[in-house]
A and B are shown apart, each in its own frame.
Chain A
Amino acid sequence: MSAEAPRSPAGLPPRDGPPYLEMRGITKAFGSLLANDHVELSVRRQEIHAVVGENGAGKTTLMNILYGLVHPDAGEILFEGKPVRIRGPRDAIAAGVGMVHQHFQLVPVMTVAENVVLGQEPGGIVLDRAGSVAQVRELSERFGLIVDPTARVDTLPVGVQQRVELLKILYRGSRLLVFDEPTAVLTPQETDELFEIFRGLVAGGKTVILITHKLGEVMAISERVTVLRQGRNAAVLETARTSPAEIARAMVGREVLLRVERDEAHIGAERLRLDGVKADSDRGLPALAGVDLTVRSGEIVGIAGVSGNGQLELAEVVAGLRPVTAGHVYLEGRDVRDQSAAERRANGLAYIPEDRHTRGLILPFEVKENLILGSQSKPPFAVHGQLRWPAIDERATSLIRQFDIRPPNPDAPASSLSGGNQQKVVVARELAEGPKVLVAAEPTRGLDVGATEFIHRELVEKRDEGLAILLISSELDEIFSLSDTIAVIYQGRIVEVMPSAAASRERVGLLMAGGSVEEVTPSAAQIAQAAALQAAAAASSAQDYASREGSS
């Protein structure tokens, strides 16, 4: 299926000669684990090249090698046919590579401008602060990436933070832009905007490598796809001549059901009820403005909404991590207002938090320790206040097998796992104790198609066994394929609850956006922005920011 014939998509200049970037025979072992095993990657100039693969397939490792953050054991990197030695990010930047990392690399307490210019600041000994602000403002206007250069980064929503990351690499004049799962934290609208930006950049002469787990995105934007499986090349596919099913098969090595099979729900007694719940956000502003909601045994209730409309607070209020300012939360009919998070857990509540790094895991702890967190003082894991390691090992081994956590090593620190496998650890732990109510916030964020399918099946299975599930997701696909009942949240209020059989995407989408009538055709502003981007990108490659005097 791999087609090597050069092809020039309409509207782009022909691209002859050697590929723009070639990575040959890249090999990297972490201990006994081969993260990259003779991996080949070839990217043409002005291509949008997708790199896909299961969690832990080695995508981030490969890109970190390209960026000089990880040193390969073997292999070479060539730009336009010429070998280049990349010893660190400095070399990569000099070679024209820019990278937006899977986890953002921004200094939260500094301003946008400071984050952008860091390492290549204007000025002599003294930092030219006005100059930095002016340059960043000019850049953001030229590329249509609207952001206030003087704002502190930690005050910005994630979508805007991503723009800052993009400005960082544009400022450095990078010609090869690497994005490691940029859309994982974006809303569908933000994703569309980002892709519009990609198209503009490519038309202006840049080349893009995109890592994503969302096959829809691969199909929508990429020209070719490199598929990795367990550290090795599995396929190189022309997007125009392939299908999501074929990509998924290459990734996983078997057929993948991209749709969940779901029987009729057998809905039982009420398990979780919220009655007029109000709560504040971390900044002390009202985040929930009177939420009424019921989840019954054997039912999945999906909360649809644009992130930031109170979903996080809703999950935390139920989990017992955030005080309610008014209203009541009932678990199996009992008011749990005065119950701590631990007491709620003991009473059968499980919680898959949205942010696995800060809430879901203790990263330096071993996988097996993470797998029993929350149950660590109960038998069989602890007797007379002492941990019983045989029982812990046994639980860990069985969960690792059941959830296919890779590498299957209970003693590895959680921090060494790939993002997707970290998520599996959280899900495995939360389902292990046979909960009665589960709050699942973005349960498949960052997961590959196989793992997503697995977790979806697991959730549906538990629901068939009578678990009551409150599913919070910013992926409409996930909401629609899992939920029995869909509730739309907007500005801290549940604006409508409907059986999923009766719900249409259009209606849910409309309610998520606040119920206002949306324009169907792209607005004039969007079209103008795309045109401006193309022109700006072309101009910038001519001037080439890279020629700016470097750091140190």
Chain B
Amino acid sequence: MDIVGLFVTVFARPDLWAGTLRFAAPLTLAALGGVISERSGVVNIAMEGMMLVGAFFAVLVAAATHDIVLATLASVACGGLIATVHGIASIHLRANQIVSGMAINLLALGLTSFLMFRFYATSGTPSDIPALPDLKLPVIYGIPFVGAVIGDQNIVVWLSILAVPITWWFLFRTRLGLRIRAVGEHPRAADTLGVSVFEIRYLCVILSGLLSGLGGAYLSLSVAHSFSDNMTSGAGFIALAAMIFGKWHPVGAFLACLLFGFGQSLGINLQGTGFPDQLVAATPYVLTIVALAGFVGRAVAPAADGIPYEVGE
């Protein structure tokens, strides 16, 4: 009875739901990036590294210029740049894409730790950096409960939500999207029709870097308002899980991100209530394993996902 009462109280808190959206936002951006990349046939487990790089350079540029737009652009660009490295390795050099992705993650961790030490060894990142703005919605803000949940969310939260239908539309309604999916399923067929497999794959991998970089900027410039070593702490991998859980579909991946965000938010809202919040925080991941084990229908990756394309085979 006691537990039921506790959960009723916690569920009635707008904080729980606002937190869900906040936690889900960076996951969503990275997961959408993963969806785009893998739909074109390039396995991408490097979202973690791309986010980390995005997070660091966002802070670096913010501290140097005090310009939030420049800082955000820098993080997006750096995410794209490191994604290009993954692209070169896995598209042109035909490296194993898991290994390349892992290497990117390790590289990003080492690079950001090193630069962190180099620039902010003693003091930590400066606290006077600009933040990504929250959007106070005029009327909605005044509505009880709803206002507290969505009335004052960060701009990136809205961008991440907006990115879901846009990604869906891009993949399933545009000419380019058709080509991307064809390349991910049967690159040879696309090639024989004059569609450049390499161009499409580079584009998609870089897009995944841009989105992940933005997710990173959100983590450092909005959530933490600073940078610390390995601050993504696995968010990129959770996004990866969400992508698979969501069956490589933008909407599915988004729903999975919401579930994971909810888990994190619930864990935090249960802190101090005496309830073992770690247990709750773990539930979404247990659910993922259950889902991946085949209880929610088999998840099918694009047929050519992870297979490098060789011209003139």
Contacts and interface: CB of A to CB of B under 8 A. Distances in A.
B195 A119 contact: yes
B303 interface: yes
A462 B191 CA distance: 44
B192 A106 contact: no
Interface string A103-126: 001111110001100111101111
B34 interface: no
Contact of B312 (A64, A90, A110): A64
Given A415-B313, A551-B195, A114 B174 contact: no
Nearest to A125: B174
A125 B188 CA distance: 23
B178 A127 contact: yes
Contacts of A124: 175
Nearest to B181: A110
Contact of A121 (B178, B196, B313): B178
Interface in B190-226: 190-196
Nearest to A104: B189
B185 interface: yes
A168 B312 CA distance: 20
Contacts of B195: 118-119, 551
Closest 6 CB pairs of A and B: A119-B193, A90-B194, A105-B189, A121-B175, A107-B186, A70-B312
A88 B188 contact: no
Given A119-B194, A551-B195, A127 B177 contact: yes
Most buried by A among B173, B189, B196: B189
A318 B117 CA distance: 68
Most buried by A among B175, B186, B188, B303: B175
Contact of A93 (B176, B177, B186, B193): B193
B178 A118 contact: yes
A110 B189 CA distance: 12
Per DSSP, are chain A's interface residues mostly helix, strand or loop, or mixed?
A: loop
Nearest to A415: B313
Given A89-B192, A168-B193, 19 more contacts: A69-B312, A71-B312, A89-B191, A90-B194, A105-B188, A105-B189, A105-B192, A105-B193, A107-B189, A107-B190, A108-B186, A110-B185, A118-B178, A118-B193, A119-B194, A120-B194, A124-B175, A415-B313, A551-B194
Contacts of A101: 192
A143 interface: no
Contacts, number: 78
15 contacts: A64-B312, A89-B192, A93-B194, A107-B186, A107-B190, A108-B303, A110-B182, A118-B182, A119-B179, A119-B190, A120-B194, A121-B175, A125-B176, A126-B173, A127-B178
Contacts of B194: 88-90, 93, 119-120, 551
A129 B181 CA distance: 15
Per DSSP, are chain B's interface residues mostly helix, strand or loop, or mixed?
A: helix
A69 B194 CA distance: 10
Contacts of B186: 105-108
Contact of A126 (B175, B185, B190, B312): B175
Given A107-B182, A107-B185, A118-B182, A69 B192 contact: yes
A108 B311 CA distance: 21
B interface residue count range (under 10 / 10 to 19 / 20 to 34 / 35 or more)? 20 to 34
A interface residue count range (under 10 / 10 to 19 / 20 to 34 / 35 or more)? 20 to 34
B184 to A, nearest CB: 9
Contacts of A381: none
Nearest to B313: A415
A118 B312 contact: no
A14 to B, nearest CB: 34
A101 B186 CA distance: 14
Contacts of B177: 127
A123 B313 contact: no
Nearest to B170: A125
Nearest to B178: A127
B178 A114 contact: yes
Nearest to B189: A105
A120 to B, nearest CB: 8
Nearest to B302: A109
A203 interface: no
B174 to A, nearest CB: 5
B39 to A, nearest CB: 12
Interface string B272-313: 000000000000000000000000000000010000000111
Contacts of B192: 67, 69, 89, 99, 101, 105
Contacts of A126: 173-175
Contacts of B196: 552
A127 B178 CA distance: 8
A125 B191 CA distance: 20
Interface string B128-167: 0000000000000000000000000000000000000000
Contacts of B181: 107, 110
B272 to A, nearest CB: 50
B189 A123 contact: no
Nearest to A30: B312
A436 to B, nearest CB: 38
Most buried by A among B178, B189, B192: B192
Contacts of B190: 107, 118-119
A547 to B, nearest CB: 16
A551 B178 CA distance: 13
Nearest to A90: B194
B189 A125 contact: no
Nearest to B190: A118
B7 to A, nearest CB: 42
Contacts of A129: 173
Contacts of B173: 126-127, 129
A169 B192 CA distance: 11
A354 B21 CA distance: 54
A108 B303 CA distance: 10
A115 B185 CA distance: 12
Contacts of B191: 69, 89
A252 to B, nearest CB: 28
